[in-house]
Structure 1
């Protein structure tokens, strides 16, 4: 009996390292995105990233997709939309934003995914947010504006904010749609098959841009970044994250996403020498407080269920 309890404890403890690993991989990718912006165009790295992921997955997935082709064909429109929002609009805008803002700011803005998801859910699923979600979202948005204004709201009004920050906000907004589409459709398709087909659509969407803008060559300056982007954040992190959701649940897993701004800032400081300023501290604290408040509904509902 004691041995069984010990084994369960070990399994639970180990499971909590999974979302942390995924967040570290994604945080590193934001910094990689900022670093490689000087060596490769957004279209090129975005295309190469999904091409690498496609090449790695194809030997394992092509046969499975063929066997499940009827299932894939029945949901190809949804998979096409998911590929557009999650892999092209979100990632493409993120790579473009890296040319105009810092990795630290990108990490902070990326933490807005849960907040934006609340409002997209309200629009698409008629899921009316409670007062905690509304107040928390407003608080987080104020913190975001404070960071974008570099601590001076009058500067934000005069300059209109950094183009990169605005592009990153749009990217995160599109990713919120991606999450809500997943929730709305709840496709009964194996996760790896879904991921593989979305990657195929992402590559197809890139083709017009590649033909019009061309591709930068892969060289010693960008090859490691391309390989990292194509393997770790594209394949390993999503699989680790999905495993964590299965083992510890979606709510506890999602909390780890709030660590991304801190992890990104630390990596960007050590690697790129980016400064963490007082306005990052104040704005980041306000944003994190708002995000945690916006998610309070989950714990309240859980408590109510346990008491009934």
Structure 2
């Protein structure tokens, strides 16, 4: 085994913190990629090409195990299809549409509220008990998201004139929160096989989006830069980050690994400023502190327990 392979398997693939930091960095970069895709490739083309590439890669890697576990997968194919439709196709379609209408900084901060949305869903769907400190954390996080959507102006909320891109991103987060909650009862197949199946379904369910863009004459196949964006999205946030995250969860458990997701809005904001030159206003800083602080409060009791 080469030195590079030994280093990867022994240090990098065995270091949960490093894997999870790289994961959230790639997910933060996805917000910048969504902005870079503007005028280079249309949103539904990004989604379809992304999942087609991911599905080809994942099926190639997992084919023997996919065949072995197919009977169990087939018995739950309907549920898996709904999970892929909302969590992969629906979320990403809305995400890239939102990226055409708002900034990477806003996308990252709003996306950072997802753990709290999952907690709210767990209360409503599974009757999970919430402690008073968690309620405070939820309210602070949602207030931070509202501040971003209102662009720091409470009067905007009072007159319900929220930036459409931020509103679309909020709906996308609700889709992904629903997908995350459904993972609680997912079929007991191996993680990579599960991801491979969902990526295939996502590739198939993204095809209607292409027909829609073609019908309204907004379909744009990638330019050279568009292909670079698509390949980055497919290979890094969609594939490598997922594998790194699953490995991180395997090493330290889902509760501790989930805390690292709080880094996504920080990386998204930083990359948006450094790469895209987007403005970072005072209300962004306040909202970021509120979102991260609210998540910390909402998870604090759970971690101690």
Q: Shared fold (TM-score greater than 0.5)?
A: yes
Other-structure match for 1:119: 120
SS at match of 2:73: helix
Other-structure match for 2:196: 196
**1:100, CA displacement in angstroms?**
0.7
Other-structure match for 2:285: 281
Gaps of 5+ in 1: 1-9, 302-308
**1:166, CA displacement in angstroms?**
0.6
Deviations 1:8-63 (A, max 9, x none): xx799932111100000000111111111232111110001001112222322234
1:17 equivalent to 2:22? Answer no
1:221 equivalent to 2:225? Answer yes
Other-structure match for 1:110: 111
Other-structure match for 1:299: 303
Gaps of 5+ in 2: 1-10
Other-structure match for 2:167: 166
Within 5 Å, give how 1:174-193 maps onto structure 2: 174-183=175-184, 185-193=185-193
Distance in 2 (alpha carbons) for counterparts of 1:129 and 1:90: 27
Q: Structure 1's 254 and 152: CA in aligned 2 closer, same or farther, altered over 3 A?
A: same
Distance in 2 (alpha carbons) for counterparts of 1:12 and 1:194: 20
Q: Structure 1's 194 and 276: CA in aligned 2 closer, same or farther, altered over 3 A?
A: same
1:236 corresponds to which of 230, 234, 240: 240
Q: Structure 1's 99 and 12: CA in aligned 2 closer, same or farther, altered over 3 A?
A: closer
1:209 equivalent to 2:206? Answer no
Q: Structure 1's 220 and 11: CA in aligned 2 closer, same or farther, altered over 3 A?
A: closer
Distance in 2 (alpha carbons) for counterparts of 1:160 and 1:293: 30
Q: Structure 1's 278 and 124: CA in aligned 2 closer, same or farther, altered over 3 A?
A: same
Distance in 2 (alpha carbons) for counterparts of 1:186 and 1:206: 22
What TM-score results when the alignment is normalised by the length of structure 2? 0.91
Within 5 Å, give how 1:9-88 maps onto structure 2: 14-88=15-89
**1:159, CA displacement in angstroms?**
5.2
Distance in 2 (alpha carbons) for counterparts of 1:24 and 1:62: 29
SS at match of 2:280: coil
Distance in 2 (alpha carbons) for counterparts of 1:285 and 1:66: 47
Within 5 Å, give how 1:92-171 maps onto structure 2: 92-158=93-159, 160-171=161-172
Other-structure match for 1:256: 260
SS at match of 1:221: helix
Give the length in aligned residue pairs: 291
Greater CA drift, 25-34 or 140-149: 140-149
Runs of 4+ in 1 over 6 A off after TM superposition: 10-13
What TM-score results when the alignment is normalised by the length of structure 1? 0.90
Distance in 2 (alpha carbons) for counterparts of 1:200 and 1:235: 13
Contact 1:12-1:248 within 8 A present in 2 as well: no
Deviations 1:265-300 (A, max 9, x none): 111111100011111111111121111111122133
**1:66, CA displacement in angstroms?**
2.2
Distance in 2 (alpha carbons) for counterparts of 1:66 and 1:12: 26
Q: CA RMSD in A?
A: 1.7
Other-structure match for 2:5: none
